[in-house]
Structure 1
Amino acid sequence: MTIKLKTADVLAIGFMTFAFFLGAGNIIFPPLAGNLAGQSFMPAMFGFLATAVGLPLITIIAVAKAGGGLITMTRFLPAMAATAIAVAIYIIIGPAFAAPRTSLVAYEMGIKPFLGDAANETTLALYSVAFFIITAYFALSQGKLIDNVGKILTPALIVLLTVLAIAVFVMPQGEIGIAREAYVDSPFTKGFLEGYNTMDTFASLMFGMLIINVLKSKGVTDKASQFKYLVMAGSIAAAGLAFVYISLFYLGATSQSLIAVGADVNGGMILATYVQALFGMPGQYILAAVVTLACLTTAVGLASAVAEFFHELKPQWSYKMLVVINCVVCAIVANVGLSQLISISVPVLFAVYPIAIAIVALILLQERFPNPQFAFRLVMVVAFMFGVLDGLKVAGLAMSGFEFLPLFDQGLAWVLPTALAIVVSIVAMRSPKNVAVAIAK
């Protein structure tokens, strides 16, 4: 018999989910996008919200519907392919990019401003080690995860973010600026692609299973109840993220008079400059607290999810050992520096994001496919092929021979072919004869 959760427990799980999502990318990318968008910040913001809020929420729903993580969601693919996709996504969102980025952003915005000239590679290394020791401590307290994050860290984070958001709207530090770069002609599309950088659709594939495990530990065992509570938690997280993004976009749009964006300026610098103008030196302490808490809670969620996944993949590997190994690798990778890590991650995200979106679409439309196995294989191959083209283009390779593809110039070459593959899987495969012929080919 499943246990019905109290309202306080549901809110705690929702806050925990919000805190897991709100990390480094969620804080540094919206201010920069808002600054560049200027007067076009509204369509740019809606594009960003589509990939940074809408897609993660839909992904949570897909995880709830599938009743399991990536391996369950890709069960119609060959076993080796499904495992390879899952491992790749967990490595990207874990030790390769997202998790080390939490430490780097926390250092750049929470510690470095107070170190001044004393900041160097040694201080970064020491901070990375300390940050991931604390991360490991919370992640190892697996049974107390919801209490540590949902009931302790998150309320403090929400209070600090609310103070900052109110101040941004009540006391804007400038007029809304002009639109620049790609935000002049295609602000929605540019905002949509910027949302990739948060990696939250990947995170949803991880956190969804983590939340299911938390629900099981609370006595929620039947799939219907798990679906209900997972959707509720995802909705709470989505509302919180939208609140943060809207305020940070507006902050960026009204920051052009404070800071001129160049090649060496990132969203963290814009946010730090704005907070300094709003609150003076006390603002630096508020910002340091917000960023450190946000990055720490995300790091805890990522470390837990990665360890859970590889423990399920290889039960002989203990959860605690995997948490420690993951945190050690993250501490090492973090020392490459924030700008370098971001520059490496962007082409990878352009190549892999279409795969994650395709998985979600396939799960949500699963009942409509006459042959789910064929549909999953066709759609995933198409999404991967055209996603790689987008990734190679962003990486700077000469790709002029593919400019005839629809939306290729905007980094969305995968969209129409993937949609067409889905339509073919639904409509053209209804006849058993067609299915047999297609599989034979």
Structure 2
Amino acid sequence: MKKNERDLSIGTLFFMGAALFSMHFGSASMTWPMNWGKESGSSVFVAFAGAFLTALLLPLLAYVALVRGNGTYNSLAKNIMPKFGPVFTTMTILLLGPLYAVPRMSASSWDGIVQATGLNTNSKIPIILFSIVFYLITYWFLSGRSDTMDKISKILFPVLVIIVICIIGKGLLTPISTTWAPKSYDNSAFSYGFTGGYATGEILCALVFGIVILNNLKVKGVTPDKMNKNIIKVGILGIGMLTLSHLGHMIIGASTGGISGPTGDLTYVKLYTKVAFLLLGNVGGVLYCIALTIASLTTAVGITAAAAEFFEDVSNKKLSYKKSVIIICVSSTIMGALGLENILAYVGPLLDSMSPPLIILTLYYVLIPNVKNVRFLFAAKCTMIVSFIYGILDAVHTYSYLCGWNLGIFDSFYLKMPLADIKLAWVIGCGIIAVLSYLLCRGKEETFTGSSDAI
């Protein structure tokens, strides 16, 4: 791009979209869709519709919300909830960064290597050493703050996309089985895809990736009046690529559900590893390990960069970007050593519990931008608080099941709520609260000029 250009060139737009796809396309977005497809079988397209809303459309809307709300993730939440907003955003970033999402990346990569090589060891030393190397590489990608997306798009994306195209292309042209079994779960395929989609945490990733895109657009010379349009362009391109990947992986997964021998009860990383071997032989196993490691690395880089930007912002630069990156990498090394299954089982429900208020936050700014209306703000505040409470209830119920707790009255109360069995009780409850709080509040409309951190 020339210095006097105010907009992104087509080539630069493509590379930034590719980088955004790579940042979203971590171990969860690579392995989970195939698992969704296997468990959904003949209902795979209905499940995809549910997953599309929460894993793809809502993340895209999150970028729109950042633009229409004229602020960062932190400022958007703070505008609705001045006191609790910063607390909520800090909680979610801690989960997204050093406590769950980032360490999940190295743990997934290690799990793939173990499955592909047949490595069997009870020692923690190999995974610790792998995590150290993984996060040293992550730190290298983040050492140049302004060129993070360039490094991802020009170094990691080409290798990643070639391998993924090979696996998806082979799986679609010569499917493992032409018989798709019925879905293996009792709930509706749509609700299964919906809840599975927001469990990936993509909506939160989108809200925090916005600042990374913003900084890179500034470096590219995009002028303020073109900033919003280009953020949405990059988001559409990146999420569009992710949509094609999800659909392809789900269809391949659906072709494995009717096979009792080769895939059996395998799930997630183990399932993908076996499918790669079935489709491409030993070469497929090697390619899969490379692709999974690169996919995990790109997301680890993206999330760490976004989390570091966030901590620098909320601390008023008392905690610098570089120090934040180091802290996140070190803590992720420690958490990653716990192993993938433990991270998913015992930390995952906490991130899931944050999804309802994140959805409410996104929809509010998409539907009601640039107007600081007392009634709308009050309704949004009440709805976000209630959705947060619903999320906590979901988490308590999940942990009671995981840990074998007998909570008696709580479980009875929880399961009596409509749609609680599929973790969607918050949809009805929040809908009622939104309407009631809007009707009960009286206020005047005021002009909203946005925050000083405007995007």
Partner of 2:45: 42
What residue number does 1:422 align with?
Answer: 434
Would the aligned equivalents of 1:14 and 1:236 in 2 still touch at CA under 8 Å?
Answer: yes
Q: Give, in angstroms, the shift of residue 111 of structure 1.
A: 5.7
- TM-score, normalised to structure 1, is 0.92
**Partners of 1:431 and 1:132 in 2: CA distance:** 50
**Aligned-partner residue type, residue 113 of structure 1:** A
Amino acid at match of 1:204: A
1:408 alignment counterpart: 420
CA distance in 2, matches of 1:76, 1:409: 33
Does the 8 A contact of 2:116 with 2:289 survive in 1? no
Tell me by how many angstroms 1:115 deviates: 6.0
Decide which moves more: 192-201 or 390-399.
390-399
Per-residue deviation at 1:219?
Answer: 2.1
Q: Which residue in 1 is equivalent to 2:290? A: 289
1:383 equivalent in structure 2: 387
Aligned residues: 429
Aligned to 2:192: 190
Shift of 1:375: 2.6
Measure the CA separation in 1 of the matches of 2:341 and 2:287.
24
- Among residues 136, 155, 158, which one is paired with 1:155 in the alignment? 158
Separation (CA, whole Å) in 1 of partners of 2:110 and 2:284: 16
CA contact (8 A) 1:99 1:299 kept: yes
Counterpart in the other structure of 1:437 = none
Over residues 300-333 of structure 1, what are the superposed CA-to-partner deviations in whole Å (9 max), with x where a residue is unaligned? 1011111111111120222111111110000000
AA of the residue aligned to 1:255: T
| Whole-Å separation in 2 of the counterparts to 1:369 and 1:420 | 22
Once the two structures are superposed, residues 64-110 of structure 1 have per-residue CA deviations (whole angstroms, 9 ceiling, x without a partner) of 22233222112334433111111111111111111001101111114
2:100 maps to what in 1? Answer: 97
Query: TM (normalized to structure 2)?
Result: 0.89
Question: Offset of 1:118 from its aligned partner?
Answer: 5.7
2:61 to 45, 58, 61: 58
| Separation of aligned partners in 2, 1:364 and 1:426 | 18
Structure-2 separation of matches of 1:227 and 1:89: 25
Counterpart of 1:169 in structure 2: which amino acid?
L
Preserved contact between residue 263 and residue 274 of structure 2 (Cα < 8 Å) = no
1:226-375 paired onto structure 2 within 5 Å = 226-256=227-257, 257=259, 258-262=261-265, 265-314=266-315, 315-367=317-369, 370-371=373-374, 372-375=376-379
Distance 1:427 1:57 in 2: 30
Give a deviation string over 1:7-66, Cα, whole Å, max 9, x none.
111111111111100001112211222111111111112111221111111111111222
SS at 1:116's partner residue? Answer: coil
Question: Structure 1 residues 296-305 or 118-127, which shifts more?
Answer: 118-127
**Structure 1 residue 260 displacement after superposition:** 4.8
Distance 1:189 1:261, change over 3 A: farther
Q: Is the contact between residue 111 and residue 288 of structure 1 (CA under 8 Å) also seen in structure 2? A: no
Residue 393 of structure 1, CA deviation? 2.2
CA distance in 1, matches of 2:333, 2:443: 54
1:219 to 209, 218, 221: 221
Matched, 1:137 2:149: no
Aligned to 2:211: 209
Counterpart secondary structure, 2:83? helix
- Separation in structure 1 between the aligned mates of residue 74 and residue 120 of structure 2, nearest angstrom: 48
Across the aligned residues of Structure 1 and Structure 2, the Cα RMSD in angstroms comes to 2.1
Q: Using a 3 Å threshold, how does the CA distance of structure 1 residues 394 and 120 change in structure 2: closer, same or farther?
A: same
Farther-moved stretch of structure 1 (113-122 vs 309-318): 113-122
Give, in angstroms, the shift of residue 172 of structure 1.
0.4
Once the two structures are superposed, residues 224-261 of structure 1 have per-residue CA deviations (whole angstroms, 9 ceiling, x without a partner) of 42211111111111111111111111121111315454
Distance 1:124 1:427 in 2: 55
Query: Hey, what's the Cα distance between the residues in 1 that align with 2:108 and 2:122?
Result: 14
Question: Could you say which structure has the higher helix fraction?
Answer: 1
TM-aligned CA deviation for residue 152 of structure 1: 2.2
| CA 1:100–1:313: 2 relative to 1, 3 Å | same
Unaligned runs of 5+ in 2: 445-455
**Which deviates the most, 350-359 or 212-221?**
212-221
Instruction: Give the secondary-structure state (helix, strand or coil) at the position aligned to 1:127.
Output: helix
Output the CA distance in 2 between the equivalents of 1:390 and 1:353: 11
Structure 2 CA distance, aligned partners of 1:80 and 1:95? 24
Partner of residue 6, structure 1: 9
SS of alignment partner, residue 425 of structure 2: coil
For 1:70-85, what aligned pairs fall within 5 Å after superposition?
A: 70-85=73-88
Partner of 1:67: helix, strand, or coil?
coil
- Change in Cα spacing, 1:252 to 1:119, as seen in structure 2 (3 Å) is farther
Q: In the superposition, relative to structure 1, how do residues 117 and 358 fare at CA in structure 2: closer, same or farther (>3 Å)?
A: same
1:130-152 deviations in Å (ceiling 9; x for gaps): 00000011012212212201222
Which piece of structure 1 moves more, 231-240 or 102-111? 102-111
Of all paired residues, the percent bearing the same amino acid is 25
Q: Would the aligned equivalents of 1:39 and 1:178 in 2 still touch at CA under 8 Å?
A: yes
The one-letter amino acid of 1:406's match is P
Q: Note closer, same or farther for the CA distance 1:24–1:377 as it changes in structure 2 (3 Å cut).
A: same
Amino acid at match of 2:415: E
The CA distance in 1 between the partners of 2:82 and 2:187, in whole Å, is 43
Alpha-carbon displacement from aligned partner over 1:199-240 (angstroms, at most 9, x marks no partner)? 101101110121112112222241x42211111111111111
Q: Distance in 2 between matches of 1:199 and 1:383?
A: 16
1:435 aligns with none
SS in 2 for 1:75: helix
Given that 2:115 and 2:273 are in contact with CA atoms closer than 8 Å, whether structure 1 keeps it comes out as no
Q: Any stretches of 5+ residues in structure 1 without a counterpart? A: 433-441
